[in-house]
Structure 1
Amino acid sequence: MDDAVRAAFEAVPRADFLPRTQRWRAGFDGPIGIGHGQTNSQPRTVATMLTLLDVRPGQRVLDVGSGSGWTTALLGHLVGSTGTVLGVELEPELAIWGARNLSRTGMSQASIRVAEAGVLGAPIEAPWDRILVSAGVSTLPWVLVDQLAPQGLMVIPVGGRLTTAALEAGTIRTTGHGPYLFVPLR
């Protein structure tokens, strides 16, 4: 875990993004159910994803599958007050809960909303410098690649491997890291 990600983890306690009945498990290095068939991901996995994503202050970041809001808050810490983070969550109740959790952090640069049905990501607000996807897919979704800014980077679980997709000079370069298990992207 790099220093910036470590600082984000220290600034954004996982317990604040877990159901009250599960907060005592915040130090558990494994996924924790948050309802609606979703989980708050394993901290070690989140740290790996954020390290691979290489978020910088001032960047615009999209968090697909924001769930409890923890990754959105971590990303908000990484982009700082000059950046922007938008979390999108398909399950309305989780989006509302995640936004409430996020609001307690005081980070005005980060927000969460309900994902638009049938729309992957947030293409209207694109391009994004970084995209984090916290749900698994079988193939790289080009609709998200198209939302990357020039020199943009996405981290997404593809076929059971964390995949980085970097947009360089108009072409996409992917690398795989893994194996990892995620809930499926819907």
Structure 2
Amino acid sequence: MEFEERRKILIDSLKVNGISDRVLDAMMRVPRHFFVPEELQDSAYIDLPLPIGYDQTISAPHMVAIMCELLDISSGMKILEVGSGSGYNAAVMAELVGDKGHIYTVERIPELAYFAEKNIKRAGYKNVTVIQDDGSCGLAEHEPYDRISVTSAAPEVPRPLIEQLATEGIMAIPVGNGEQQLVVVKKDIEGSISYKVWGGVIFVPLIGKYGY
């Protein structure tokens, strides 16, 4: 079975999760097999996280879809991603923001930052910038961000990320050690912060100054 056919079967299976067509269409345009190690390409369109080395994973497709849905991403937005991994989540968000938007994605592990950048370039995305740094501190030079997506679990929501979130911005972040919860953080027009727990998740830990 060809990769594109496998991808369609996967995307069709995600429709039961209440994911919008806009997110699913974006995921349909991203070749996930570009973003996994070569020996795992046959498993690229199974709805599971996969190892990408250095004790890190590429998130399961349903989790990528859910986080994109919670972030309510629109064309033209500027987004910060903490934890590039293999670059897949950044690529999906790049589809959603379009040519007028931009994704800044920060990866702590140099080898994975290189892997993500290589994969993103191979897939043809020009609206993604990969930076190797401590993502728990955010990325102050390009703030504020319309949306922030954190793909590893923090002990609490890092203060720099709250500060770098634009007014009327949204952040999705897993929080907790052991029992983790996906938290949606919103900043209103006056700068007040609200927190809403979406549900239980399992992510690798956020390592860094404001992580573990």
| TM-score tier (shorter) | over 0.9
**How do residues 17-166 of structure 1 correspond to structure 2 at under 5 angstroms?**
17-115=35-133, 117=134, 120-159=137-176, 160-166=180-186
**TM-score (structure 1 length as normaliser):** 0.96
Letter of the 1:50 counterpart? C
Letter of the 1:176 counterpart? V
CA distance in 2, matches of 1:172, 1:46: 24
Deviation at 1:3, TM superposition (A): 1.4
Structure 2: give runs of 5+ residues left out of the alignment: 1-18, 208-212
Percent identity, please: 38
CA distance in 2, matches of 1:109, 1:40: 20
* Residues 15-68 of structure 1: per-residue CA shift (max 9 Å, x gap): 110000011111221110000010001111111111001110000001110110
Tell me if the contact between 1:58 and 1:81 (Cα under 8 Å) persists in the aligned partners.
yes
The structure with the largest alpha-carbon Rg is 2
* Residues 121-160 of structure 1: per-residue CA shift (max 9 Å, x gap): 1012110000000000121111101001111110000121
Partner residue in 1 for 2:7: none
Letter of the 2:90 counterpart? T
Q: Is 1:167 paired with 2:187?
A: yes
Q: Is 1:10 paired with 2:31?
A: no
CA distance in 1, matches of 2:123, 2:138: 24
Which secondary structure state, in structure 1, belongs to the residue aligned with residue 193 of structure 2? strand
Which secondary structure state, in structure 2, belongs to the residue aligned with residue 29 of structure 1? coil
CA distance in 1, matches of 2:203, 2:155: 11
Q: How many residues align?
A: 185
**TM-score (structure 2 length as normaliser):** 0.85
Q: 2:199 aligns with which of 175, 178, 183?
A: 178
Aligned-pair Cα RMSD in Å: 1.2
CA distance in 1, matches of 2:166, 2:199: 26
Tell me if the contact between 2:136 and 2:158 (Cα under 8 Å) persists in the aligned partners.
no
CA distance in 2, matches of 1:33, 1:107: 23
Which secondary structure state, in structure 1, belongs to the residue aligned with residue 117 of structure 2? helix
CA distance in 2, matches of 1:9, 1:82: 19
Structure 1: give runs of 5+ residues left out of the alignment: none
Which secondary structure state, in structure 1, belongs to the residue aligned with residue 111 of structure 2? helix
Which secondary structure state, in structure 1, belongs to the residue aligned with residue 200 of structure 2? coil
Which secondary structure state, in structure 1, belongs to the residue aligned with residue 119 of structure 2? helix
Deviation at 1:108, TM superposition (A): 1.3
* Residues 78-102 of structure 1: per-residue CA shift (max 9 Å, x gap): 0000001111100000000100000
Tell me if the contact between 1:96 and 1:113 (Cα under 8 Å) persists in the aligned partners.
no
Moved segments of 4+, more than 4 Å: none
Tell me if the contact between 1:72 and 1:111 (Cα under 8 Å) persists in the aligned partners.
no
